[in-house]
């Protein structure tokens, strides 16, 4: 497995609850894995953990392995090498990644590309005039072109794992589609894995092989993209689908009531209970844990009990079992 995050909990001083709690997530070679959720759910913190980049003063439990290396144990030169060569992160704002006074060519060669490779990379990400772009500075290119440059820069070091954090969210839909295609091709031709972070569940479902849904620092559902889209099991996933518009389908948008919790909010039971239209009294005291069935996991007491709301009936053909506990240790 290229990226393997096991039961990761990240706590920072001053926060009433962990930033991440019991997060488990894998990305295999050549795979595109999605990470979705509202703002503050912990998506970026999860991706940064793969870079060994955690908030100052953070304490951790659990493991993060990339290509076999125990990332949280890397220090000094090993950590620098890991960030420079094994993993590459692409952010939403390309201008933040580029030095405004340096030429595009310098940006690529600083990342290990020769001049010929830099030309090939710019062509590979769909830029029209690579030779000219090499001599240009960031202010001479549009936002969409700069994002392609940043992707070329991420590929220059031939990383094993690409982390795309809302990498296409600021772009118009045509440019977004082209960049997603370039990322997929880059991944296929290089056998890299891609962790794709977005707040757009429809985009994740269309683009990824598997999707993790995060809420309040936890992975509340993990399924194949198709299963997540056609038969969401967690009420939060269903809420995300119901409040995002789709082309060609007319359905009234139904926002999820309430707000995502902040780091000062603590929970006595399921973190989603206050916003959940399907909650029962016991959900207020139910300690969340992941239940697994047929390669998927979900953290919902009703699903764990088999007491499914009608819309989640497609979830499991056999009773789910707790992922982290012995079979039989069922929910309250
Ligand atoms: N360095 C830090 N120190 C303290 N808290 C942090 C730090 N970085 C992130 N957080 C907090 O951790 C929580 C998760 O943040 P994170 O950026 O991972 O969420 P996200 O899902 O990526 O959100 P967004 O979509 O807005 O980027 C938030 O409440 C955030 O304020």
Mean per-residue pLDDT, 135-150: 93
Residue 289 in this model has a pLDDT that exceeds 60: yes
Closest alpha carbon to 64 in 127, 103, 20, 15: 20
Residue 143 in this model has a pLDDT that exceeds 80: yes
The token pair at 250 is 């007319």
**Per-residue pLDDT tens digits for 42-79:** 999 999 999 999 999 999 999 999 999 999 999 999 99
Listed range (102-116, 166-180, 290-304, 308-322) with the worst mean pLDDT: 308-322
ipTM for the assembly = 0.96
**Per-residue pLDDT tens digits for 296-316:** 899 999 887 776 655 555 554
What local confidence, expressed as pLDDT, does residue 248 receive?
Answer: 61
Closest residue by Cα to atom 10, ligand 1, is 19
What local confidence, expressed as pLDDT, does residue 328 receive?
Answer: 40
DSSP track, 21-46? EEEEEEE-TT-EEEEE-STTSSHHHH
d(CA 56, CA 241): 35
Residue 10 in this model has a pLDDT that exceeds 90: yes
Measure 170 CA to ligand 1 centroid, in angstroms. 19
Closest residue by Cα to atom 18, ligand 1, is 42
Measure 118 CA to ligand 1 centroid, in angstroms. 34
Mean per-residue pLDDT, 89-114: 92
* Number of Cβ atoms within 10 Å of the Cβ of 209: 16
- Secondary structure of 109-127 as H, E, C letters: HCCCCCHHHHHHHHHHCCC
Is 259 near ligand 1, meaning CB less than 6 Å away? Answer: no
Q: Residue 162 is inside which H or E element, if any?
A: strand 161-165
**Per-residue pLDDT tens digits for 195-231:** 999 988 888 988 999 999 999 999 999 999 988 888 8
List the domains of the chain with CATH numbers. 1-332 (3.40.50.300)
What local confidence, expressed as pLDDT, does residue 241 receive?
Answer: 86
Listed range (47-51, 121-125, 213-217, 285-289) with the worst mean pLDDT: 121-125
Cβ-proximal residues to 183 (8 Å cutoff; 6+ apart), any chain = 151, 162, 164, 167, 194, 196
Mapped onto helix, strand or coil, the DSSP state of residue 149 is helix
Is 41 near ligand 1, meaning CB less than 6 Å away? Answer: yes
Pairing label, strands 59-66, 3-11:
antiparallel
- pTM as predicted: 0.89
d(CA 49, CA 7): 12
Burial of 77 (0-12, 13-18, 19+ CB in 10 A): exposed
Closest residue by Cα to atom 28, ligand 1, is 40
Mean per-residue pLDDT, 92-105: 92
Measure 46 CA to ligand 1 centroid, in angstroms. 10
* Number of Cβ atoms within 10 Å of the Cβ of 17: 16
Is 53 near ligand 1, meaning CB less than 6 Å away? Answer: no
Q: Which of 19, 49, 271 to mutate to test the pocket of ligand 1 (most atoms within 8 A of CB)?
A: 19
Give me the long-range contacts of 279-288 (CB less than 8 A, separation at least 24): 279/235, 280/307, 282/332, 285/332, 286/331, 286/332, 288/218, 288/220
* Number of Cβ atoms within 10 Å of the Cβ of 14: 8
Q: Residue 210 is inside which H or E element, if any?
A: strand 210-215
What local confidence, expressed as pLDDT, does residue 315 receive?
Answer: 52
Confidence of residue 109 (pLDDT cuts 50, 70, 90): very high
The token pair at 111 is 């990342």
């Amino acid at each position: 497995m290229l990226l393997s995050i096991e039961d990761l909990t990240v706590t920072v001083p001053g926060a009433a609850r962990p930033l991440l709690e019991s997060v488990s997530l894998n990305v295999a070679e050549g795979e595109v894995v999605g990470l979705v959720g509202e703002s503050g759910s912990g998506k970026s913190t999860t991706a940064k953990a793969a870079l060994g980049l955690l908030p100052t003063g953070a304490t951790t439990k659990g493991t993060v392995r990339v290509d076999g290396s125990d990332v949280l144990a890397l220090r000094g030169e090993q950590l620098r090498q890991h960030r420079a060569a094994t993993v590459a992160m692409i952010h939403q704002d390309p201008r933040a990644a580029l030095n405004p006074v340096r030429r595009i060519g310098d940006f690529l060669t600083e990342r290990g590309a020769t001049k010929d490779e830099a030309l090939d990379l710019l062509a590979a990400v769909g830029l029209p005039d690579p030779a000219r772009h090499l001599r240009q500075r960031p202010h001479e290119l549009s936002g969409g072109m700069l994002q392609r440059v940043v992707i070329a820069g991420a590929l220059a070091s031939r990383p094993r794992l690409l982390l795309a954090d809302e990498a296409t969210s600021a772009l118009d839909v045509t440019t977004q589609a082209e960049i997603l295609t370039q990322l997929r091709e880059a991944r296929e031709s290089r056998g890299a894995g891609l962790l794709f972070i977005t707040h757009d569940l429809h985009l994740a479902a269309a683009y990824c092989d598997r999707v993790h849904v995060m809420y309040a620092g936890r992975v509340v559902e993990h399924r194949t993209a198709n299963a997540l889209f056609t038969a969401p099991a967690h009420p939060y996933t269903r809420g995300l689908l119901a409040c995002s518009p789709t082309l060609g389908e007319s359905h009234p948008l139904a926002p999820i009531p309430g707000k995502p919790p902040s780091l000062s909010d603590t929970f006595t039971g399921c973190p989603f209970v206050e916003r959940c239209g399907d909650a029962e009294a016991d959900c207020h005291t139910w300690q969340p844990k992941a239940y697994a069935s047929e390669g998927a996991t979900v953290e919902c007491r009703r699903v764990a009990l088999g007491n499914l709301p009608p819309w989640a009936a497609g979830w499991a053909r056999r009773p789910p079992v707790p992922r982290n506990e012995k079979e039989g240790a069922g929910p309250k």
